[in-house]
A = this chain, B = another copy of it.
């Protein structure tokens, strides 16, 4: 988890996510087959405070820092913060939370 990313406060209903990259070789350096589960998942790094409603209220964001989330195949905004790549999603675009 990048300290730099932690210092970006997403606005409104946006969620900052660091994608989980499936390892392609083991710690010992052995190449893993490509057929390994290619999960489109990420870890929530930071969230906005939510979108404003027409009543002056806030629709809360559905996830919190540290949640492991299932991401849509397309969409999200790719950004680079401190040499690492992150993604910003609107809360509505996140599909689900992987519970453990």
Contacts and interface: CB of A to CB of B under 8 A. Distances in A.
Nearest to A58: B56
Contacts of A16: 96
Main secondary structure of the interface of A (DSSP, over half): loop
Given A9-B96, A14-B95, A54-B55, 13 more contacts: A7-B99, A8-B96, A8-B97, A10-B95, A11-B62, A11-B91, A11-B95, A37-B80, A52-B53, A52-B59, A52-B60, A55-B55, A56-B57
Contacts of A9: 96-97, 99
14 contacts: A8-B98, A8-B99, A9-B96, A11-B63, A11-B94, A12-B62, A16-B96, A37-B82, A48-B96, A52-B53, A55-B57, A56-B57, A77-B95, A79-B95
